[in-house]
Structure 1
Amino acid sequence: MCTPVRKKLLLAVLVLCFGVQTGLVYSDVRSVPLSEEALAGRELWQGYACQTCHQLYGQGGFLGPDLTHAASRVDSTRLVSLLRVGSGQMPPLGFSDEAAAAMAAFLREIDRPEIGRGQLRLGTPGEGAGAQAAFERAIEAAVASGEGGAAAEDLAEVAAGLAAFRIRPCSACHFPFRDSPVGAPDLSLVAGSLSPDSLERVLAEGRPLKGMPPPVPPLDAADRAAITAFLEFLGANREQLDAATRALAADRSLDWRALPWWEFP
């Protein structure tokens, strides 16, 4: 039974722990020098209220992804696309080349592991633990191992199709091996449900009346051929790739000793 004395002792210990944590957090003063271009990017970040949805070093909203280390994981072409035409819930901002470069510089210069880490996420660092990351890794492994007995040149085109898919915000709407909540179809079934001409037209123009905008950046003939090969590969190996994706997504490891506990009060 917890006596009044023990309750007071427990409360005192909790207050002491809170005081120690507060001292550790607020005495860790960091000064991050930024270039003129990065300062311009910071002004854009503040002017567009990006922190409403996104976090930097634990500060900000939770609607969008944490952008503390975005420069290390987002391709520059995809970043420009996101800043111009948006993706999913992110609205189009219509950034100019200069503004996009400034934002990229800001994200690049704050992406410093020695300063701290972003939002706490479970999973193996550097590999991604979500379904989309597992989906991409499963395809990369299948291509590397020569899945389905395809010729080397065909697999090279599949890899090029995955690269073209990855640098565009396709994954904002399309989910691996299932229809998404916004109505975007399962891409592994697309090659079998559309004629070659219809698929070519969708890849070139999108389906605006059904909510799919034209691809950004636009797909040239080589890109369209590569993505067609990628979609056909998904359809031909759907069961194996779905199983591999599920296995990779379930294989999540977490080293509790490596977590920066004081950065997540």
Structure 2
Amino acid sequence: MYTDSRNTPLSEEALAGRELWQGYACQTCHQLYGQGGFLGPDLTNAASRVDSTRLVSLLTVGSGQMPPLGFSDEEAAAMAAFLREMDRPEIGRGELRLGNPGEGAGAQAAFERAIEAAVAAGEGEVAAEDVAEVAAGLAAYRIRPCSACHFPFRASPVGAPDLSLVAGSLAPDSLDRVLAEGRPLKGMPPPVPPLDDADRAAIMAFLEFLGANREQLEVATQALAADRRLDWRALPWWEFP
């Protein structure tokens, strides 16, 4: 059986984060080292894969099935400290990992890698002068929790649309307004952190690139996502389904 014995005690800030974890009953939906619920993702190694901007967004405005908790900056920092100090690879990993985590695996990572490769190679329908803006749009997309609701090349179960079709279905001024204000009545909060004029222009260029090159990017994404290997013998016991 897994035990939570550890040689290094939690810091005062992490202890405050643990109080928030317990007070908000986070374990009802999330697991730490095999203990907790299954509605939300396993957070054992969240500190290794969720950047601070996205964590603050998740703890304040929520995402998908996760409700907004309205954490203050101090509370968000405490929760980040708790997750950071709980992320102990030498104790084990509580998340099922397909393929090499360093390279990224799964549909979302494959989606981003396919776009990076196409932009770097100058492939697809994009003018040379627009390459930098498309890359900036991908970067702006990445640091926000867009992928929590939007799935590559299909609508998500929570109703978020396929982003590769958005530029063709919304007029530029309507798309710019959505990027600035969100669509709260349809479940999309305003972007966090907010997008300034340059960010919105870059994301619009990125979405236009997705739409114009949808077919080849989807094929490349599927090929990258298919290249996943799993050695069951290397997994700690709590990672088995």
Q: What CA distance in whole angstroms lies between the structure 2 residues aligned with 1:65 and 1:262?
A: 14
In structure 1, give the amino acid aligned to 2:45.
Answer: H
Task: State TM-score, norm by structure 1.
Answer: 0.84
Matched residue, 1:76: 52
Deviation at 1:182, TM superposition (A): 2.5
Superposed displacement of residue 130, structure 1: 2.2
Question: How many Å apart are 1:180 and its aligned residue?
Answer: 2.0
The percentage of aligned residue pairs carrying the same residue is 89
Aligned Cα root-mean-square deviation (Å): 2.1
Residue in structure 2 matched with residue 49 of structure 1 by the alignment: 25
Structure 1 gap segments, 5+ residues each: 1-21
| Alpha-carbon distance in structure 2 between the residues aligned to 1:262 and 1:111 | 15
| Residues in 2 aligned to 1:138 and 1:253: alpha-carbon distance in whole angstroms | 19
Residue 230 of structure 1 deviates from its aligned partner by 0.7
* Structure with the largest fraction of helix: 1
Distance across 1 between alignment mates of 2:202 and 2:52: 20
Match of 1:143 among 109, 119, 131: 119
Long gaps (5+) in structure 2: none
Residues 141-180 of structure 1: CA deviation (Å, up to 9, x unaligned)? 2122222264555222212211211222222221111122
Question: Is the Cα–Cα contact under 8 Å of residues 58 and 264 in structure 1 kept in the other structure?
Answer: no
Pairing 1:57-68 to 2, within 5 Å after superposition: 57-68=33-44
Scaled by the length of structure 2, the TM-score of the pair is 0.92
Cα 1:42–1:132 change in 2 (3 A) is: same
Q: How does 1:9-48 map to 2 (within 5 A)?
A: 25=2, 29-48=5-24
Cα distance in structure 2, aligned partners of 1:232 and 1:55: 38
User: Is the aligned partner of 1:240 residue 2:216?
Assistant: yes
Tell me by how many angstroms 1:207 deviates: 1.9
- Amino acid corresponding to residue 97 of structure 1 in structure 2: D
- Which residue matches 2:63? 87
Query: Where does residue 191 of structure 1 map in the other structure?
Result: 167
**Displacement, 1:260?**
2.7
User: In structure 2, how many angstroms separate the alpha carbons of the residues matched to 1:117 and 1:182?
Assistant: 28
Q: Aligned partners of 1:247, 1:187: CA distance in 2, in Å? A: 20
Q: Deviations over 1:7-56 (max 9, x none)?
A: xxxxxxxxxxxxxxx5xx56x84334211111111111111111111111
What's the secondary structure of 1:120's corresponding residue?
A: coil
Aligned to 2:88: 112
Number of corresponding residues:
241
* Other-structure match for 1:15: none
- 1:191, 1:199 within 8 Å by CA — same for their partners in 2? yes
| Rg larger for | 1
- Cα deviation for residue 95 of structure 1 reads 0.2
Q: Amino acid of the residue matched to residue 169 of structure 1?
A: P
